[in-house]
């Protein structure tokens, strides 16, 4: 399978379908990805043991292999803890993918679905439907969130569309302005609800995995199964786009179509993740940067590593949030923001933003 | 010689014209302010006719029902709105002048988040309720946040440009907002106590707060007026200011103190009210140009008018419910922010 003619011998080259499809994957990146998956599994197992009742790892293992035992702890683990960590991991990887796509498409290292208003759009849509049509909220939530996010993304694109010069700055600043605008509308709904509804809305808006259920796992898994392969198929043209608009056009890529597709994917990932757990800030910002730092790789592999990093961050944030002030739970979104802001400031201090 | 006299004459002629124009504008703005104030007082659960309000306002002795409503119930709120609007307008104008950044504003630069974080922590941790110290607590928070934002923007590549300042401001705001949320989730009592205040509201009896904040803000206004000519010079650039013999570093510290006091008093009175400091100076500059000796007093007056109007809208829009004033200012201000970003990039 590996080809001796290539200068880089530590790359794994896979050729399939009579060499019609070939993949070149850096072995070190593959190794990093593998290690990340392993550490994710370990972290998830650890997270399973934590909660109102602490358990030993061996107990968890026992419950995992015998799901139909009727002990109370088995029910707790299978009904609450497992869906929760699965949702955490899925949401984390989706936000990371969204962030990686956004940063690539806008060629702006500071792009994040929460920073530029996409998460707020989804959030507003969900708060609106929860207040106006609470009965139908659970069914329509993902779709409404998707709609809200797409609307906001469209508005941002429309407003920041124009001259090339300063486009990325404008994109971010307009996103910040829109986020403030949308948050103020959300606050109108929040302030005048009953205190218990406002309290639960506050928890949701701060990005909580409290209500995670198997239903969420199903929706998120479906989204990943549909969207991830499309993303990976597009990753090849995506890599040419990152070399610059003219290079991509020169290599025969239809950039406007590709951009639109990638934006839709980014928005889709962020919206569906937000619909399940509320806006989780800064995951989409951090994960792609960390992924770039831990392994040099092509675009496709970078997306996968970002996803693994994102899953790790959210699972960890959820675990920290549950334990830091137990029995009160701090939403994972608050933890990611508190971790994420210093990271953002670090990026701001190091990376030159193209002005 | 003749030319010199001529030019002096022309200059004189122009400045008389300018003064006349300013006096006219000033009279108009003051009239609008008095009208807004009266209108604001007349709106409420018991709607009062404007002339009755006017009579009660300027007829100090009568003890009628209207008189009591106007002086004891509605005046404090109208005064608060006017003070907060004026204070934020001036704070925004000074920040924009000193940083030469059209997007500078107390809430976007993180000052409000700092002030509200300090207040929330004080209320939550120490069950702090001493009205006298509240503005000072807020001021410490605002000052620290301002310095942190300034440091981040200064150290970032590119220095103190709009983008760095706004990004640093929104990062600090996001961080402090998360911490505030953590505190509120942990303590529902504090949440219930502060949730309306945190969205920037003028409701509630603020008489005691006013007694503390009003003198402070008046001093800060006078200080701002004193600084205004120097701010005009500073707005032309650090080199120009240095060349004209200004101690720019010291001046910036003075401006910062003034802005922090105005912001902190506003937050202590009404919670974080965003975008007023952004909107007002831009509107004012449209009419009076870039001379901060005029921009600052006008920002105070127009800011007061604006917040009175916004508060009227906030109280009338969803009657009998009341929308927080800060939410309405964000609804109006954020689109202007977007417009400014677009206009500047052109």
* Residue B320 near chain A (CB below 8 Å): no
| pLDDT surpasses 70 at B134 | yes
What is the rounded distance in angstroms from the CA atom of residue B103 to the CA atom of residue A172?
A: 14
| pLDDT one-digit tens code per residue, B39-97 | 888 887 777 777 777 777 776 666 677 777 777 778 888 899 999 999 999 999 999 88
Number of domains in chain B: 1
* Residue B171 near chain A (CB below 8 Å): yes
CATH of the domain at B174: 1.10.3470.10
- Assigned domain for B54 exists: no
Q: Are residues B331 and A185, on separate chains, in Cβ contact within 8 Å?
A: yes
pLDDT at residue A2 in the model: 43
| pLDDT one-digit tens code per residue, B251-270 | 888 999 999 999 999 988 88
User: What ipTM describes this predicted complex?
Assistant: 0.76
Could you list the residue range(s) of the whole structural domain that residue B291 is in? 83-345
Q: Are residues A181 and B274, on separate chains, in Cβ contact within 8 Å?
A: no
- Assigned domain for B31 exists: no
| pLDDT surpasses 50 at B174 | yes
* Residue A125 near chain B (CB below 8 Å): no
Domain spans in chain A, listed from the N-terminal domain onward? 110-355
Mean pLDDT of B296-324: 87
Nearest residue in A to B156, CA atom:
A349
pLDDT at residue A261 in the model: 87
pLDDT at residue A162 in the model: 60
* Residue B293 near chain A (CB below 8 Å): no
Strongest mean pLDDT among A204-208, A246-250, B22-26, B339-343? B22-26
Confidence category of residue B221, pLDDT binned at 50, 70, 90: very high
- Assigned domain for B19 exists: no
Query: For residue B274, which residues of chain A lie inside 8 Å, CB to CB?
Result: 180, 184
SS3 of chain A: CCCCCCCCCCEEEEEECCCCEEEEEEHHHHHHHHHHHHHHHHHHHHHHHCCCCCCCHHHHHHHHHCCCCCCHHHHHHHHHHHHHHHHHHHHHHHHHHHHHHHHHHHCCCCCCCCCCCHHHHHHHHHHHHHHHCCCCHHHHHHHHHHHHHHHHHHHHHHHHCCCCCCHHHHHHHHHHHHHHHHHHHHHHHHHCCCHHHHHHHHHHHCCCCCCCCHHHHHHHHHHHHHHHHHHHHHHHHHHHHHCCHHHHHHCCCCHHHHHHHHHHHHHHHHHHHHHHHCCCCCHHHHHHHHHHHHCCCCHHHHHHHHHHHHHHHHHHHHHHHHHHCCCCCCCHHHHHHHHHHHHHHHHHHHCCCCC
Nearest residue in B to A336, CA atom:
B178
CA distance A355 to chain B (A): 8
Q: Are residues B191 and A188, on separate chains, in Cβ contact within 8 Å?
A: no
Give the CB-side neighbour count of residue B218, counting CA atoms within 13 A. Answer: 7
Q: CA–CA distance from A23 to each of A16, A305, B97 (Å)? A: 8, 16, 56
CATH superfamily, domain A110-355, is ABC transporter involved in vitamin B12 uptake, BtuC (1.10.3470.10)
Nearest residue in A to B327, CA atom:
A184
Peptide bond into B171 cis (omega under 30): no
| pLDDT surpasses 80 at B104 | yes
Query: For residue A178, which residues of chain B lie inside 8 Å, CB to CB?
Result: 334, 338
* Residue B274 near chain A (CB below 8 Å): yes
Q: Which residue would you say has higher pLDDT here, B198 or A18?
A: B198
- Assigned domain for B321 exists: yes
CA distance A160 to chain B (A): 7
Q: Is the separation of the CB atoms in A56 and A238 below 8 Å?
A: no
Q: Are residues B327 and A348, on separate chains, in Cβ contact within 8 Å?
A: no
- Assigned domain for B42 exists: no
Q: pLDDT tens digits for chain A (355 residues)?
A: 444 444 445 666 666 666 666 666 777 888 888 888 999 888 888 888 877 677 777 777 777 777 666 677 777 777 778 888 999 999 999 999 999 998 888 777 778 887 667 888 888 887 777 777 766 666 777 788 888 888 888 887 777 766 554 456 677 778 888 888 887 787 777 666 666 666 666 667 777 787 778 888 888 899 899 998 888 888 878 888 777 777 777 877 777 788 888 888 888 898 888 888 888 888 888 899 888 888 777 788 888 999 999 999 999 998 888 887 777 778 888 888 888 888 888 887 876 544 3
Please state which of the ranges B3-12, B138-147, B196-205 shows the lowest mean pLDDT.
Answer: B3-12
Locate A37 and state its tokens: 């998956």
* Residue B151 near chain A (CB below 8 Å): no
Query: For residue A344, which residues of chain B lie inside 8 Å, CB to CB?
Result: 167, 171
- A vs B: CB pairs below 8 A: 147
- Assigned domain for B307 exists: yes
* Residue A312 near chain B (CB below 8 Å): no
Q: Which residue would you say has higher pLDDT here, B150 or B317?
A: B150
| pLDDT surpasses 60 at B11 | no
Q: Are residues A348 and B321, on separate chains, in Cβ contact within 8 Å?
A: no
Query: For residue A176, which residues of chain B lie inside 8 Å, CB to CB?
Result: 166, 170
pLDDT at residue A165 in the model: 45
| pLDDT surpasses 60 at B13 | no
């Amino acid at each position: 399978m590996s080809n001796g003619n290539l200068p880089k011998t530590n790359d794994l080259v896979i050729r399939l379908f009579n060499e019609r499809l070939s993949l070149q994957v850096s072995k070190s990146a593959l190794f990093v990805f593998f290690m990340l998956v392993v550490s994710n599994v370990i972290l998830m197992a650890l997270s399973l043991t934590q909660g109102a009742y602490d358990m030993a790892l061996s107990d968890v293992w026992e419950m995992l292999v015998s799901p139909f035992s009727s002990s109370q702890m088995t029910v707790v683990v299978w009904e609450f803890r497992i869906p929760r960590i699965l949702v955490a991991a899925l949401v984390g990887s989706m936000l990371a993918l969204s962030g990686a796509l956004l940063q690539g498409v806008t060629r702006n290292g500071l792009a994040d679905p929460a920073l530029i208003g996409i998460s707020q759009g989804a959030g507003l849509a969900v708060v609106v439907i929860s207040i106006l049509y609470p009965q139908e909220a659970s069914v329509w939530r993902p779709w409404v969130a998707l709609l809200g996010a797409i609307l906001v993304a469209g508005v941002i694109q429309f407003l920041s569309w124009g001259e090339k010069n300063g486009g990325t700055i404008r994109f971010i600043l307009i996103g910040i302005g829109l986020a403030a605008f949308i948050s103020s509308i959300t606050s109108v709904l929040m302030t005048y609800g009953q205190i218990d509804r406002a309290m639960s809305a506050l928890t949701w808006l701060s990005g909580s995995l409290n209500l995670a259920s198997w239903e969420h796992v199903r929706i998120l898994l479906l989204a990943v199964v549909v969207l991830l392969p499309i993303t990976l198929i597009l990753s090849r043209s995506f890599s040419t786009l990152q070399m610059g608009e003219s290079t991509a056009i020169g290599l025969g890529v239809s950039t406007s179509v590709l951009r639109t597709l990638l934006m839709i994917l980014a928005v889709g990932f962020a919206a569906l993740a937000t619909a399940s757990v509320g806006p989780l800030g800064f995951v989409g910002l951090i994960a792609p940067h960390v992924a770039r730092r831990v392994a040099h790789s092509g675009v496709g592999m970078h997306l996968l590593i970002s996803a693994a990093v994102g899953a790790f961050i959210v699972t960890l944030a959820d675990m920290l949030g549950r334990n830091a002030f137990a029995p009160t739970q701090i939403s994972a979104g608050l933890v990611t923001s508190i971790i994420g802001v210093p990271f953002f400031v670090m990026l701001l201090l190091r990376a030159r933003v193209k002005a | 010689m003749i030319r010199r006299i001529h030019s002096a004459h022309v200059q004189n002629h122009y400045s008389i014209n300018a003064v006349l124009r300013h006096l006219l504008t000033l009279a108009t703005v003051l009239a609008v302010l008095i009208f807004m104030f009266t209108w604001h007082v007349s709106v409420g659960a018991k709607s009062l006719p404007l002339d009755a309000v006017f009579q009660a306002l300027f007829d100090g002795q009568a003890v009628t029902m209207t008189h009591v409503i106007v002086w004891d119930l509605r005046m404090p709120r109208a005064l608060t709105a006017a003070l907060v609007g004026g204070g934020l307008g001036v704070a925004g104008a000074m920040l924009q002048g000193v940083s030469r950044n059209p997007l500078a504003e107390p809430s976007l630069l993180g000052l409000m988040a700092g002030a509200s974080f300090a207040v929330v922590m004080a209320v939550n941790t120490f069950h702090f309720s001493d009205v006298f110290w509240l503005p000072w607590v807020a001021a410490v928070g605002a000052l620290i946040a301002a310095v942190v934002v300034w440091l981040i923007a200064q150290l970032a590549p590119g220095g103190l440009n709009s983008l760095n300042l706004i990004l640093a401001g929104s990062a600090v705001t996001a961080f402090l907002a998360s911490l505030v949320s953590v505190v509120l989730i942990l303590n529902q009592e504090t949440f219930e106590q502060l949730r309306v205040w945190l969205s920037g509201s003028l409701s509630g009896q603020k008489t005691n707060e006013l007694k503390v904040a009003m003198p402070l803000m008046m001093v800060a206004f006078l200080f701002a007026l004193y600084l205004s000519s120097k701010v005009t010079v500073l707005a032309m650039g650090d080199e120009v200011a240095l060349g004209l013999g200004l101690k720019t570093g010291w001046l910036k510290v003075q401006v910062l103190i003034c802005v922090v006091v105005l912001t902190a008093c506003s937050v202590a009175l009404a919670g974080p009210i965003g975008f007023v400091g952004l909107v007002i100076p831009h509107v004012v500059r449209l009419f009076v140009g870039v001379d901060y000796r005029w921009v600052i007093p006008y920002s105070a007056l127009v800011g007061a008018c604006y917040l009175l109007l916004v508060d009227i809208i906030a109280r009338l829009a969803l009657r009998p419910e009341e929308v927080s004033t800060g939410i309405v200012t964000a609804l109006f201000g954020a689109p202007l922010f977007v417009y400014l970003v677009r206009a500047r990039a052109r």
